[in-house]
A and B are shown apart, each in its own frame.
Chain A
Amino acid sequence: MHLRSLRSVSVFIFVLIFVLTSLGLAQESAATISGTVTDSSGKGVANTKVLATNKVSRQSAEAQTDSEGRYTIQSLAPGDYEVTASEDGSNATGTVTLAAGAQQTVSLTLAPSQAPPQSLPSAPTPQKTEPQQNEPSLSDLGFAPTETKANPREQALLDKRTHMLKIHQRMGLITTIPMIATVITSLQAGGHKEDSATRDLHVALGSLTGDLYGITAYYAIRAPKIKGTETRGQIKFHKAMAWIHGPGMILTPILGAMAFSQKNNGEKVHGIAQAHGPVAIVTAGAFGAALLSVSFKF
């Protein structure tokens, strides 16, 4: 295969993966609200308009209930929303906080419009069994109020954190594919031929690995931190490995570019550029160890 066509193929693969990845991430960040609109007797109300309004931007999206009163509003940006439904002088309002990619349920019960707006929780309501006389209650057990009080804001943070780390995990797995291919092509990339096609493929795969790695790292670094959480267990090792493969992923392409330039000039790789291979191996090894540390218990 000619050098030019190899480069074109490499660029095409890179663009294709980038576009697919971007599409995937865009889909991941869109949130959804679904639920049921019922009347006071609990029967689903059909063909009712349901409006979700962002409390900050005031942007809204709407949907109509189906024959059983169900509705779904998709492609919503993360944020606090007010969800309203109205039908023949009756209305209902609920509030919900959406994290990126979240799927929240807001079920609404229509009441006469004179009644004050009904604020409904975003999650299914527990079937509370009221303690009878002489039955012990939660307050008898002496828990601190901070232990028993719901914290929707922290839940939204946890949702966002999990969502971002799921993307981090997927992107990490995807990154291993070009990373392995880069390591394999490195065996031929150091040949003596000036126009080695494998070397160009190695460079293209290395660049792709670097880009995917950057996206992977972004989702780990930007995932919300939860206050009062001390890092324990295998995740500690996973994070420690990042201090090796992170700088390695910066250093490897710099050294690689130097080695590539020396090779293209017909020179033997010399000086600090000689460290390209060993640094890359340590980087790939640390990346692999980080991946395995959260996959298997050891």
Chain B
Amino acid sequence: MIRKLFPCFIFLIFAVSATFAADTTWVLKQSTLTYHVSHPLHQSEGTSHAARGKGICNDGQCDFLIAVPVKTFDSGDSNRDLHMLQVTRGAEYPMVTVRTKLPESAANQSTIDADLEIQFAGQTAHYSQVPFQVTTQGNEKHITGTIPAKLTDFKIEPPSLLTMPVKNEIPIRVDMTWAPQ
């Protein structure tokens, strides 16, 4: 009798755990996104803490979406922020969105190489194998990394100061904390 019930018991546990795995949802708890702009006369950074994100895992595959309003990036200078908003067409395309697909097992690794699809300034750019570091704190995952973005990826004309344009490279530092819902 026990021999007959044991496989049924194992199957039941497997089925229940599979059902839960199919419905795993991750939510972005905290984030700091910082872009860095280089100009021959000075360097500047703009930071946003307003990103929101969600990840839905199904069959061992997770789809993540992170979005942040362009307006929320603060460089500490309102004039610079308005210029940034203008050159990135931030009023016409108010959101930056990032999509990525990751295997559910990636949450247990210390490094993730993610393929990112970023929509920004009315353009879509793809970045392959962007490395992110993952640390676990309780049930939360802390993810850090840098997206090697360039102005030309989004057809943004480099803004200039005193007739000197900024560098094409605008690396974006990412610092996020995710937690299961």
15 further A-B pairs in the complex, CB-CB below 8 A; given A129-B124, A138-B97: A127-B123, A129-B99, A136-B56, A136-B64, A141-B54, A148-B95, A152-B91, A154-B91, A159-B86, A161-B86, A162-B82, A162-B86, A232-B77, A232-B78, A234-B77
Task: Count CB-based A-B contacts (< 8 Å).
Answer: 131
Our pick among A141, A152, A157, A235 for the contact of B79 (Cβ within 8 Å) is: A235
Which residues of chain B have C-beta atoms less than 8 A from A152's C-beta? 91-92
Asked if A150 contacts B91 (CB within 8 A), the reply is: yes
Chain B interface residue number, banded: 35 or more
Which residues of chain A have C-beta atoms less than 8 A from B82's C-beta? 158, 161-162, 226, 229
Asked if B78 contacts A233 (CB within 8 A), the reply is: yes
Q: Which residue of B lies closest to A129 (CB)?
A: B117
Asked if B79 contacts A162 (CB within 8 A), the reply is: no
A295 in contact (CB, < 8 A): yes
Of A9-17, A118-126, A278-286, the segment with at least 4 beta carbons within 8 Å of chain B is A118-126
Which residues of chain A have C-beta atoms less than 8 A from B43's C-beta? 297
Tell me the B60-105 residues at the A interface (CB within 8 Å): 63-65, 67, 69, 71, 75-80, 82-83, 85-87, 89-95, 97, 99
B145 in contact (CB, < 8 A): no
Give bound CA distance, A233 to B44, whole Å. 12
Which residues of chain A have C-beta atoms less than 8 A from B86's C-beta? 155, 158-159, 161-162
Asked if B83 contacts A295 (CB within 8 A), the reply is: no
Asked if B123 contacts A295 (CB within 8 A), the reply is: no
Asked if A151 contacts B91 (CB within 8 A), the reply is: yes
A217 in contact (CB, < 8 A): no
Which residues of chain A have C-beta atoms less than 8 A from B87's C-beta? 162
Interface size on A, residues (CB 8 A): 48
Which residues of chain A have C-beta atoms less than 8 A from B161's C-beta? 169, 294-295
B122 in contact (CB, < 8 A): yes
Q: Which residue of B lies closest to A231 (CB)?
A: B78
Asked if B162 contacts A169 (CB within 8 A), the reply is: yes
Asked if B92 contacts A135 (CB within 8 A), the reply is: no
Asked if A297 contacts B91 (CB within 8 A), the reply is: no
Asked if A233 contacts B76 (CB within 8 A), the reply is: yes
Give bound CA distance, A157 to B85, whole Å. 11
Given A134-B56, A138-B97, also A296-B41 (CB < 8 A):
yes
Asked if A123 contacts B122 (CB within 8 A), the reply is: yes
